[in-house]
Amino acid sequence: MDEDAVLDRLRGVEDPDLGDDIVSLGLVNDVTVEPDRVSLSLALGAPYSPTETAIASEVREALSDLDRELELSANVDSGLSADEQVLPNVENVIAVASGKGGVGKSTMAVNIAAGLSQLGARVGLFDADIYGPNVPRMVDADQRPQATEEEQIIPPEKFGMKLMSMDFLVGKDDPVIWRGPMVHKVLTQLWEDVEWGHLDYMIVDLPPGTGDAQLTLLQSVPVTGSVIVTTPQEVALDDANKGLRMFGRHDTVVLGIAENMSGFTCPDCGSTHDVFGTGGGETFAAENELPFLGGVPLDPAVRTGGDEGAPIVLDEDSETGGAFRAITEKVANNVGVTKRQGQSQR
């Protein structure tokens, strides 16, 4: 058994999204064959995504009869030098955005982050909404950040997620009244001066709209992709379109459209009411040739979970939690598609 023989076997492993085998796509970075071990480095960049987990399982199956230990590792070249990497230990930065307020963007960000953590990923949740930070309440985090002797911030943790928010750094009822340059400076410090450690995913909850925080993120941090949150109603879709154009101008991949408040099922009569319309998010995604990540119903338990700091995605018995879990898996899968496409085109 030599390297060529290993590669021949791996040509039987297909990437279901890219439509070819992992060798032809350039997703096998390195093969090392030793007397007692075969080591493989694969260009898989979305830890715990169902698709990449399945690809890794197929690789193991293809080499299962070797009389050697199989050692798999995943690595995607960012294309950046060490000096160019703002967050060198963060594998994927995902921006969660909306064109307008009130569509449940923070709820979506918190549940995606908690869902990824529940899958086993190392997750950071960055609340970049300077003027209206809600994340600490939504995860019931009242512990303040600590600092090292080198004046690095140690983020508090909840539900396995490392957290950072302006809410930790200002008085509880103090308004933040800052102009653009100050917003840029503070946000830059918060992600550069925080000891995030090694993260598979950093979820960034952006403020609504297309202002200073969004521009600071897109100009300063290598964003893997964005999730645009909307409700089915036309006014929300109009603003979602503005957010979509903003990411397009900065060459940022949109991982998909997530729809909140998709419908309300009456607990008494069992009928479903489309309070904010129906199908708007899916239609918007189709018109822009983007993935539709799924819809989340208008469920009082989501509001309760947000107010009490218990993300509903963690409730295994909740159908609404299941909707958030499905969106989380699609986000991770689409991160993987984005990373593997980039690798195969090099």
pLDDT confidence band for 20 (50 / 70 / 90):
very high
Percent of the chain with pLDDT over 70: 88
- Domain of 19, CATH number, reads 3.30.300.130
Q: Which residue has the higher pLDDT, 199 or 264?
A: 199
Instruction: Flag whether 338 is in a domain.
Output: no
What's the rounded Cα separation, in Å, for the pair 212 and 206? 10
Residues 99 and 60 in one domain: no
Q: Which residue has the higher pLDDT, 284 or 121?
A: 121
Mean pLDDT over residues 61-70, rounded? 90
How many structural domains comprise the chain? 2
Q: Where among 47, 74, 101 does a domain terminate?
A: 74
pLDDT value of position 151: 83
Residue 115 assigned ligand-binding role: no
Single out the residue of 129, 99, 93, 130 nearest to residue 112, CA to CA.
Answer: 93
Q: Is the pLDDT score of 79 beyond 80?
A: no
What's the rounded Cα separation, in Å, for the pair 154 and 63? 42
Mean pLDDT over residues 334-338, rounded? 97
Instruction: Flag whether 161 is in a domain.
Output: yes
CA 249 to chain centre: 20
Instruction: Flag whether 335 is in a domain.
Output: no
Q: Which residue has the higher pLDDT, 63 or 190?
A: 63
Residues 105 and 175 in one domain: yes
Q: Which domain holds residue 123?
A: 82-329
CA 150 to chain centre: 30
Instruction: Flag whether 34 is in a domain.
Output: yes
261, two tokens: 């408040």
Residues 65 and 87 in one domain: no
Single out the residue of 220, 235, 255, 219 nearest to residue 97, CA to CA.
Answer: 255
Q: Is the pLDDT score of 261 beyond 80?
A: yes
Q: Is the pLDDT score of 273 beyond 70?
A: no
Residues 91 and 233 in one domain: yes
Say which residue the tokens 């302006």 belong to. 166
The identity of residue 52, as a single letter, is: E
199-257: pLDDT as tens digits: 999 999 988 766 667 777 777 788 999 999 988 877 677 778 877 888 877 788 999 99
Residues 86 and 27 in one domain: no
- Domain of 167, CATH number, reads 3.40.50.300
Mean pLDDT over residues 281-308, rounded? 90
Give Cβ neighbours of residue 262 (< 8 Å, ≥ 6 apart): 232, 278, 281, 295, 296, 297, 298
What's the rounded Cα separation, in Å, for the pair 212 and 187? 10
Range name among 75-89, 187-201, 307-321 with the lowest pLDDT average? 75-89
192-202: pLDDT as tens digits: 889 999 999 99
Backbone angles phi, psi at 70, to 5 degrees: -105, 125
**What does the mean pLDDT of the chain come to?**
87
Q: Where among 29, 52, 74 does a domain terminate?
A: 74
Give Cβ neighbours of residue 175 (< 8 Å, ≥ 6 apart): 131
Mean pLDDT over residues 35-58, rounded? 95
Q: Is the pLDDT score of 269 beyond 60?
A: yes
Mean pLDDT over residues 48-74, rounded? 94
Region of residue 200 (phi > 0: left; psi between -120 and 50: alpha; otherwise: beta): alpha
pLDDT value of position 336: 97
Residues 15 and 122 in one domain: no
Instruction: Flag whether 196 is in a domain.
Output: yes
Q: Is the pLDDT score of 321 beyond 70?
A: yes
Q: Which residue has the higher pLDDT, 70 or 187?
A: 70
Residue 19 assigned ligand-binding role: no
What's the rounded Cα separation, in Å, for the pair 68 and 40? 13
Q: Is the pLDDT score of 277 beyond 70?
A: no
Residue 106 assigned ligand-binding role: yes
Residues 94 and 179 in one domain: yes
Residue 242 assigned ligand-binding role: no
CA angle 127, 128, 130 (to 5 degrees): 110
317, two tokens: 């018995």
Mean pLDDT over residues 74-84, rounded? 68
Q: Which residue has the higher pLDDT, 167 or 255?
A: 255
Instruction: Flag whether 336 is in a domain.
Output: no
Residues 300 and 162 in one domain: yes
Mean pLDDT over residues 272-277, rounded? 63
Residues 68 and 88 in one domain: no
Instruction: Flag whether 341 is in a domain.
Output: no
Residue 102 assigned ligand-binding role: yes
Residue 103 assigned ligand-binding role: yes
Q: Where among 46, 74, 102 does a domain terminate?
A: 74
pLDDT value of position 243: 76
3-state secondary structure the chain: CCHHHHHHHHCCCEECCCCEECCCCCCEEEEEECCCEEEEEECCCCCCCHHHHHHHHHHHHHCCCCCCEEEEEECCCCCCCHHHCCCCCECCEEEEECCCCCCCHHHHHHHHHHHHHHHCCCEEEEECCCCCCCHHHHCCCCCCCEECCCCCEECCEECCEEEEEHHHCCCCCCCCCCCHHHHHHHHHHHHHCECCCCECEEEEECCCCCCHHHHHHHHHCCCCEEEEEECCCHHHHHHHHHHHHHHHHCCCCEEEEEECCCCEECCCCCCEECCCCCCHHHHHHHHCCCCEEEECCCCHHHHHHHHHCCCHHHCCCCHHHHHHHHHHHHHHHHHHHHHHHHHHCC
Residue 99 assigned ligand-binding role: yes
Instruction: Flag whether 212 is in a domain.
Output: yes
Residues 65 and 90 in one domain: no
pLDDT value of position 275: 61
Residues 24 and 158 in one domain: no
Residue 101 assigned ligand-binding role: yes
Residues 63 and 177 in one domain: no
Q: Which residue has the higher pLDDT, 139 or 213?
A: 139
The identity of residue 259, as a single letter, is: E
pLDDT value of position 293: 97
93-125: pLDDT as tens digits: 999 988 777 788 999 999 999 999 999 999 999
pLDDT value of position 244: 82
